[in-house]
Structure 1
Amino acid sequence: MRRPLVELTLAAVAVALGVFFAVNSVGEGDGAPVQLEAVTGVLAVSGLVLFRRGRPVALTLGLIPLAIYFAAPMGALPIALFSVALHRRGQVTVALAALHAVSVAVVYGLALGLTRVFYESVTFIVLLNVSLVAIGMLIRSHRQLVASWAERARQAEEGQRLRVEQARSAERERIAREMHDVLAHRISLLAVHAGALEVRRDASPEEQRAAGTIRQSAHDALEDLRTVIGMLRTPGEDRPQPTLGDVPALVEQSREAGAEVDLRFDGADGVPEQVGRSAYRIVQEALTNARKHAPGAPIEVTISRTAEPGLIVEVGNPLAASGSLIPGAGAGLTGLRERVQLVGGRLEHGPTPGGEFHLKAWLPCPA
């Protein structure tokens, strides 16, 4: 709806200007016959409607000689120059405006001489063209500025999305590697017990065959698991994964780095390895964020059991008075949420009314 309205408005302006020039020309007695003026005016406005957006330069070049020798097309020419300024580079617009100004000055000078009418006519036409060209170039610059802002916003959103996806992917890969360590151990035990059952002397042939099948299936499953997870591993990562019992050592490392950390830890007895690893990663990320965004602030770490079968991990620190010294993308917290959700837990984080940043995670853990 907006585009037809714009085209109709510009065509109406061109017609109004063309009628104005034609009336003045006929009134002064130096214009072309009315019928010829009408025909050229219709041709100029029709060309303006058809080619203003697609071929504004060619339209302007065609209207320049027509607007010099006839009055009615003079109304369409400024609109054509406006379209050139709107859709083409500034150098092209200035060149066409200058070509028209020079052409008008030469032709009118030869026809009218250096009279008052000559100066008034040339000045009016040039000022009209310059005004519309300036408006067109201003609108073009504004559109380019808005487009650049939109592109920057799109790139920023895309970059944030990629960082979030990378954090999720990295966290899932880490969890997959940890699950490999757990499953490999369990499957290996299954294969060992099946092999022992297979060689028992008092086992029946059916039991020995079943045990052999179990042992072979466990061996094949272990090989498949190692093949798949092996693609996720990188050199240097085949090391023991941290557990909940390693949290005190992690806190001690932060203290050696200059952080003031208060740890309240109930112990790691009876906590499954996967839950313990998740709790360790939560504390690790929380300590890193605290050192990054509130350097020097005291940090409180609490790990405790709850009445609801589960493990509570809480980390809090005062917010920095002058804001974060290092900007963050939130990828670490995104990875923690992904990890907690994968083990069936809950994660909450954010500033508190007391001026602290508080992170709290609940991880399911059998009593």
Structure 2
Amino acid sequence: MRIAGSILIGVIAYLFGFFTSSMALTANAWAFSDGELNDTGLVAVLLLFLVWGLVFLRHRWPWVPFVAGALLTAGWGDALMLLIAVFHLVIRAPRRQAIIASAVSTGLMAFSTVRMCLAPPEHNPFSIFFLPDPAQVTGLEATIPPEDSHLAIRIITIAAGVIGLCTALGVGALLRRTRRMRAVESIAERQAQRNESLTAEIARQSERELLARELHDTLSHRLSVISLHTGALEVGAQTDPEVASTASALREEARASLEDLRHLVGGVRNGDLADPRPGHENSSPPSRATMAAIPELISSVASTGTVIRPLIVIQDVDSCPPALDRAAYRIVQEALTNAMKHAPNLPVTVDIAVSAARGIRISVSNPLPSAPGPVDVPPRPRYAPGPARGAGAGAPDHGPGPAGHRPGPQDAQLGSTGSGSGLVGIRERTEMFGGEASIGVFGNEFRVQVCFRSLSPRT
């Protein structure tokens, strides 16, 4: 619309300007011979077709029509192109150039107006309004207005020059000021948005620092106490290898948890805990939570007595972004935790395949616990696969243990800690990187399946 409007205005200015320049030809005696248009005047009229084509350059190169308009004003007596050019220069040109153009155009307009007022009235284009017979315009004799109209013709000439110059300079200055105010408002708006963003970032930073302090002061103390107690238990149980082995495993888990806690606190404090955007892969602190550490994770789970049936093929892990690498590790970790909490003493099948060609495929499944006969257990919902957020809220609660086994107090306490947020976290991590998650009951198994089609995260 803007381009079409500019072209339309250019066409109108071209036609109207050619008409006014043709009318201004009457101010030049050299264009007529015995009251008729001679060959020189005819060539001058033909040149007007080309000269007024420069009006279409008023936006990009306003100095070109300005020079042409200045020549027309000085030698021809027509200042319309000059006024159009100076109007656009006042709007778009730098301040110094706009002042120079305004001064030059004012001087040329004054010169042209004075020259036209001193010229014979029959050579003034405005004399057409005072002819007794308009048909004389096309006649062969020179058009001579009445003597009593000479003063009125000069007044109209001066008024037309002043009005045209003031309109071009005044409207141009007004539009220039309007554009400048819009630019200032745009800058002020961007600054206001930047200030709001900085204020929000400062508030988030304060919240992150508070959360990091609470995480460190609360969990670090408890994990340190657990590590000390398990170390003492390992030393004191030298006569019982099984207890010593369990205590050693607990101490290693407590130490690893302290290390992960330090990385977690650093990520929360810096605000770059898991940023999947390109260019931020190296901003997160180093961590053991990578796909290369999945075998170690499975070994630590197996040391608790859980039967793990792993099938792990990991290739091209170096080409995987750290954020996606860490997310895959957390998905496997949460799936194993879910199986240990809600299906204790049952084997867990872990199938992981990672490659640049196939992406990442994770499958963690365990048999459904069966009811021990006459125990009255309310029916458990079956969760079909799909992206529904609420589907995993109660899915991990598979009921009591297998036949012949009643969960002990430890199993009950561990199973009661589930709130379904772990499965929701798996879905959220999967969706964050453009993967697909299928969580629910498949036949006689509860299965967590996650697929990332590429090792490059979705941006």
Question: TM-score w.r.t. structure 1 length?
Answer: 0.53
CA distance in 2, matches of 1:13, 1:90: 26
Which residue of 2 is the match for residue 13 of structure 1?
13
Distance in 2 between residues matched to 1:185 and 1:227, nearest whole Å: 16
8 Å Cα contact 2:90-2:176 kept in structure 1: yes
- What residue in structure 2 maps to residue 162 of structure 1? 198
Relative to structure 1, is the Cα distance of residues 203 and 129 closer, same or farther in structure 2, using a 3 angstrom cutoff?
A: farther
Q: Does 1:25 align with 2:61?
A: no
Q: Deviations over 1:128-183 (max 9, x none)?
A: 12311211110111121122223222321221122122212211221121011111
The 10-residue stretch of structure 1 (222-231 or 97-106) with the greater mean CA deviation from structure 2: 222-231
CA offsets, 1:8-35, max 9 Å, x none?
2244135314412422433875658554
The verdict on how the C-alpha distance between 1:102 and 1:48 changes in structure 2, with shifts beyond 3 A counting, is same
Which aligned pairs between 1:1-367 and structure 2 lie closer than 5 A? Answer: 1-26=1-26, 31=31, 33=40, 35-49=42-56, 51-70=57-76, 74-103=79-108, 105-106=110-111, 113=118, 121=157, 124-201=160-237, 204-226=240-262, 229=265
Q: Match of 1:332?
A: none
Structure 2: runs of 5+ lacking an equivalent = 33-39, 121-150, 271-459
1:216 Cα deviation (Å)? 3.0
| CA apart distance, 1:188 | 1.3
Judging by fraction of residues, say which structure has more helix: 1
Q: Could you tell which deviates more after superposition, 10-19 or 179-188? A: 10-19
Counterpart of 2:404 in structure 1 is: none
8 Å Cα contact 1:97/1:129 also seen in 2: no
Other structure's SS at 2:236 match: coil
CA distance in 2, matches of 1:83, 1:146: 18
> How large is the Cα RMSD of the aligned pairs?
3.5
The number of residues matched between the two structures is 232
Provide closer, same or farther for how the CA distance between residues 227 and 113 of structure 1 changes in structure 2, counting only shifts above 3 A. same
1 CA distance for matches of 2:44 and 2:24?
12
State the 1:87 CA deviation: 0.6
Q: Larger RCO: Structure 1 or Structure 2 (Cα < 8 Å, ≥ 6 residues apart)?
A: 1
**Greater CA radius of gyration, 1 or 2?**
2
Q: Report the alpha carbon displacement of residue 232 of structure 1 after superposing the two structures with TM.
A: 7.6
Give the residue type in structure 2 aligned to 1:36.
V
Partners of 1:191 and 1:219 within 8 A in 2: yes
User: CA 1:111 to 1:12, structure 2 compared with 1: closer, same or farther past 3 Å?
Assistant: closer
Q: Deviations over 1:81-106 (max 9, x none)?
A: 11111112454334223323434555
Q: Which amino acid aligns with 2:82?
A: L
Q: Provide the C-alpha distance between the structure 2 equivalents of 1:107 and 1:75, rounded to a whole number of angstroms.
A: 12
Counterparts of 2:80 and 2:119, CA distance in 1: 24
Relative distance call for 1:148 and 1:105 in structure 2 (3 A) is closer
Structure 1 residues 289-313: Cα deviation after superposition (integer angstroms, max 9, x where no partner) = xxxxxxxxxxxxxxxxxxxxxxxxx
- 1:320 is aligned to none
User: What is the one-letter code of the residue matched to 1:137?
Assistant: A
Q: Using the alignment, how far apart are the partners of 1:231 and 1:28 within structure 2? A: 84
Give the AA of the match of 2:53. S
1:339 aligned partner: none
Q: Quick one: structure 1 residues 230 and 63, their matched pair in 2 at CA, closer, same or farther if it must change by over 3 Å?
A: same
Q: Counterpart amino acid of 1:23?
A: M
Relative to structure 1, is the Cα distance of residues 146 and 55 closer, same or farther in structure 2, using a 3 angstrom cutoff?
same
- Summarize the Cα distance change of 1:208–1:93 in structure 2 as closer, same or farther, 3 Å threshold: same
* Counterparts in 2 of 1:23 and 1:106: CA distance versus 1, 3 Å: closer
User: What stretches of structure 1 of length at least 5 have no aligned partner?
Assistant: 235-367
Counterpart residue number, 1:333: none
* Distance across 1 between alignment mates of 2:15 and 2:185: 37
SS class of match (1:199) = helix
TM superposition shift of 1:197: 2.4
Deviation of 1:80 after TM superposition, in Å, equals: 0.9
Q: Contact between 1:194 and 1:215, CA under 8 Å: does it hold in 2? A: yes
**Letter matched to residue 63 of structure 1:** G
